[in-house]
Structure 1
Amino acid sequence: MRIAMIGGGYVGLVSAACFAEFGNQVSVVEIDPDRLAALRDGRIPIYEPGLDTLVADNARAGRLSFGSDIADAVTGAEAIFIAVGTPPRNGDGQADLTYVHQAARQIARAMGDYAVIVTKSTVPVGTSRRIAEIVRETRPDLDFDVASNPEFLREGSAIGDFMRPDRVIVGLDQTAPDGGARARAVLSALYRPLYLIEAPVLFMALETAELTKYASNSFLAMKISFINEMADLCDKVGANVHDLSRGMGLDGRIGRKFLHPGPGYGGSCFPKDTLALTRIAQEAGAPTRLIEATVGVNDARKVAMAGRIAAAGGGSVRGRRIAVLGLTFKPETDDMRESPSIPILVRLAEQGAELRAFDPVGMQAARPHLPPGITYCDSALDAARDADTLVVLTEWNEFRALAPNALAAAMRGRVIVDLRNIFDPAAMRAAGFHYHSVGRPI
Structure 2
Amino acid sequence: MTRPRIAYAGMTHLGLCSAIAAAAQGFATLGFDADASLTRRISAGDLPVREPALDDLLRAHRDRIDFSADATTLHACDLVYVAPDVPTDGAGVSDLGGIDALLDIVLTNTRDDAVIVILSQVPPGFTRARQRPGRTILYQVETLVFGRAVERATKPERFILGCVDPDAPLPSAWRSFLESFGCPLLPMRLESAELAKISINCALAASVTTANTLAELCERVGADWSEIAPALKLDARIGPHAYLAPGLGLAGGNIERDLATVMRLSEQHGTDAGMIRAIVANSAHRKDWALRELHEALLATAPQAQIGVLGLAYKENTHSVKNSAALALIAQLAAWPVRAFDPAVPASAAQHPKLTAASNALDAAREVDALAIMTPWPEFRELAPAELARLMRGRLILDPYRVLNAAAAHAAGLDYRTLGARAS
Instruction: Give the TM-score taking structure 1 as reference length.
Output: 0.90
**Amino acid in structure 1 at the alignment position of 2:193:** A
Query: What's 1:83 paired with?
Result: 83
- Pair 1:145 & 2:136 matched: yes
Relative to 1, partners in 2 of residues 1:122 and 1:13: Cα closer, same or farther, differing over 3 Å? same
Contact kept in structure 2, 1:326 and 1:395, CA below 8 Å: yes
Query: What's 2:17 paired with?
Result: 14
Contact kept in structure 2, 1:266 and 1:337, CA below 8 Å: yes
Kindly state the Cα deviation for residue 26 of structure 1 after the two structures are TM-superposed.
1.6
Where does the alignment leave 5 or more consecutive residues of structure 1 unmatched? 137-141
Where does the alignment leave 5 or more consecutive residues of structure 2 unmatched? none
Contact kept in structure 2, 1:124 and 1:280, CA below 8 Å: no
Kindly state the Cα deviation for residue 305 of structure 1 after the two structures are TM-superposed.
2.9
**Amino acid in structure 1 at the alignment position of 2:408:** A
Mapped partners of 1:114, 1:291: distance in 2: 42
Instruction: Give the TM-score taking structure 2 as reference length.
Output: 0.93
Query: What's 2:119 paired with?
Result: 120
Mapped partners of 1:398, 1:368: distance in 2: 20
Aligned partner (choices 122, 125, 145) of residue 154 of structure 1? 145
Question: Which stretch has the larger CA shift, 215-224 or 265-274?
Answer: 265-274
Mapped partners of 2:11, 2:365: distance in 1: 38
Query: What's 2:26 paired with?
Result: 23
- Pair 1:214 & 2:205 matched: no
Mapped partners of 1:307, 1:43: distance in 2: 41
**Alignment length, in residue pairs?**
419
User: 1:12-411 to 2 correspondence within 5 Å?
Assistant: 12-59=15-62, 61=63, 63-73=64-74, 75-88=75-88, 93-132=92-131, 135-136=132-133, 142=134, 144-174=135-165, 179-183=167-171, 185-195=172-182, 199-256=183-240, 257-313=242-298, 315=300, 318-349=303-334, 352-362=335-345, 364=346, 367-411=348-392
Kindly state the Cα deviation for residue 86 of structure 1 after the two structures are TM-superposed.
2.1
Percent identical residues: 31
3-state SS of 2:76 partner: coil
**Amino acid in structure 2 at the alignment position of 1:193:** S
RMSD between aligned alpha carbons? 1.9
Kindly state the Cα deviation for residue 149 of structure 1 after the two structures are TM-superposed.
0.8
3-state SS of 1:313 partner: helix
**Amino acid in structure 1 at the alignment position of 2:188:** M
Contact kept in structure 2, 1:4 and 1:79, CA below 8 Å: yes
Kindly state the Cα deviation for residue 287 of structure 1 after the two structures are TM-superposed.
3.6
Mapped partners of 2:302, 2:189: distance in 1: 54
**Amino acid in structure 2 at the alignment position of 1:258:** Y
Aligned partner (choices 393, 403, 409) of residue 422 of structure 1? 403
Contact kept in structure 1, 2:290 and 2:372, CA below 8 Å: no
Mapped partners of 2:85, 2:344: distance in 1: 23
Q: Deviation string for 1:50-102 (max 9, x for gaps)?
A: 1112223333x1x21111122222x1322111112322257x63322112221
Q: Deviation string for 1:124-159 (max 9, x for gaps)?
A: 011111121xx33xxxxx4x3221111112222211
